[in-house]
Structure 1
Amino acid sequence: MTGKTIRVVVADDQTVIREALAMMLDLEEDIDVVAAAENGEVAVERVLALRPDVLLTDLRMPVMDGAAATAQVAEHAPDTAVIVLTTFDDETSILSALQAGARGYLTKDAGRGEIAAAIRAAAAGQSVLDRAVQARLVSAAVSRSVGTSMAEQQPSAGSAGAPPAATDGLTPRESEVLALIAEGLSNREIARRLFVSEATVKTHINNLFAKAHLRDRAHAVSYAYTHGLVTP
């Protein structure tokens, strides 16, 4: 950290959780909870008024849910990073949040250190998916693979093992880099895996982000899973 305090808005429909999160995060020297909200609508109002660095929000809330609030924040306050903190780890919930623009997704099993680290990462422009969320997405990919295995045995226009057709013109190497991003690898780890330089990896990432209109790595993860680029 450079000494800058990270300003956070916390949103959860349960008072005890809102207050516990605020108290817990205020113990961190570089994090300041500037407001709390009991639903997504109020969360958006707080974000637009205060322009915090991070919105830490639950997913299932009355009036406006976390995914809808995330989409509003992404559109009207794009400099505020959104992290979803929820009990729901199903594929639909995860992808709905990421597609709405969330930069991170954590389950409420996460401890203070993990949540604080995710806030710092999101404020720095990074994406954060906890291990449970990554495992759920991999499991969903496995299920889809099994469900389509019979169809893949039939002759088709595409060759076996090739990336799906609807990948916005990505090259095979760009698709490979995207899949590795979805597996949680850093640029350095991708470079080592592919035996190329980090500069080359960054070039591939810039190109695939432009082609697929991706906002960040979290959006890239969502794209990779919905387009079947991550395989078991």
Structure 2
Amino acid sequence: MADEPIRVLLVDDHAVVRRGLRTFLETYEDIEVVGEAASGAEGIALVQRLLPDVVLMDLVMPEMDGIAATRAVRAASPATQVIVLTSYSEDERIFPAIKAGALSYLLKDVGPEELVRAIRAARRGEATLHPAVATRLMRELTQTRTSPLDELTEREREVLACIARGMSNAEIARHLVIGERTVKTHVSNILSKLHLQDRTQAALLAVRERLVPLDPPQS
């Protein structure tokens, strides 16, 4: 209910950060810090048990990063909103975090009152973005490209086509006559440039963009 405190879970591997956030947030009568976690895996377990309204999620943590944890949190408790609170504003972190289900994305230089407003807004299902993040998202949305694959080099497109055909890194290396370590580098670059999480998403995008046929012939 609207008159009940907003139940917040803190997920950050730095104890000093968690302590500072708890001390500050507990000065507000409408916010209750219900728990703390030092890793993504621990955060998921607490979400399943506590069902908080809002999770303040760091991105770089041991065991499981904040992006994977965000995805798991949203699956375990769809009513729980995730606010990313991080020091990183690079595209390769912003877009995967939003795709994973984060409602808001704030940097750790955010003002105290701004953070509280973001928590209250998240309770209502409203997003809050750091200005730098909002600019990057708007740029991504307004860019005109014939295909997201335009970001890739010709070799990366060849590797992506092989991924879409279900080939392993070793198979791709043999097929393209390159080293397996080079294949791994290409795969990493492909996922980063296309803001994807894994090879499955990459394969689906390759099919959608008609890089390979929907039902490639069997060799």
Correspondence for 2:72: 72
Q: CA deviation at 1:92?
A: 1.4
1:95-143 deviation line (CA, Å, top 9, x unaligned) = 111100011110011011111111111111112212121123345678x
* Secondary structure at 1:62 match in 2: coil
1:137-181 deviation line (CA, Å, top 9, x unaligned) = 345678x669x9xx9xxxxxxxxxxxxxxxxxxxxxxxxxxxxxx
Amino acid at match of 2:131: R
* Secondary structure at 1:129 match in 2: coil
Correspondence for 1:91: 91
Once the two structures are superposed, the pairs formed by residues 206-221 of structure 1 within 5 Å of their partners are none
Once the two structures are superposed, the pairs formed by residues 115-194 of structure 1 within 5 Å of their partners are 115-138=115-138
Establish whether residue 31 from structure 1 lines up as the match of residue 44 from structure 2.
Answer: no
- Aligned mates of 2:39, 2:12 — CA distance in 1: 6
- Aligned mates of 1:11, 1:81 — CA distance in 2: 13
- Aligned mates of 2:89, 2:2 — CA distance in 1: 33
- Aligned mates of 1:138, 1:107 — CA distance in 2: 17
Q: Equivalent pairs: percent with the same residue?
A: 43
* Secondary structure at 1:34 match in 2: strand
* Secondary structure at 1:95 match in 2: helix
Amino acid at match of 1:25: L
Over aligned residue pairs, what C-alpha RMSD do you find? 2.2
Corresponding pairs, count: 148
- Aligned mates of 1:116, 1:91 — CA distance in 2: 25
- Aligned mates of 1:75, 1:3 — CA distance in 2: 26
- Any stretches of 5+ residues in structure 1 without a counterpart? 152-232
Correspondence for 2:196: none
Q: CA deviation at 1:3?
A: 2.2
Aligned 8 A contact 1:4 1:30 in 2? yes
Larger radius of gyration: 2
Amino acid at match of 2:75: E
- Any stretches of 5+ residues in structure 2 without a counterpart? 151-219
- Aligned mates of 2:110, 2:24 — CA distance in 1: 12
Structure 1 residues 129-138 or 39-48, which shifts more? 129-138
Amino acid at match of 2:41: E
Correspondence for 1:196: none
Aligned 8 A contact 1:91 1:140 in 2? no
Aligned 8 A contact 1:6 1:53 in 2? yes
Amino acid at match of 2:78: P
Amino acid at match of 1:119: I
Aligned 8 A contact 2:47 2:76 in 1? no
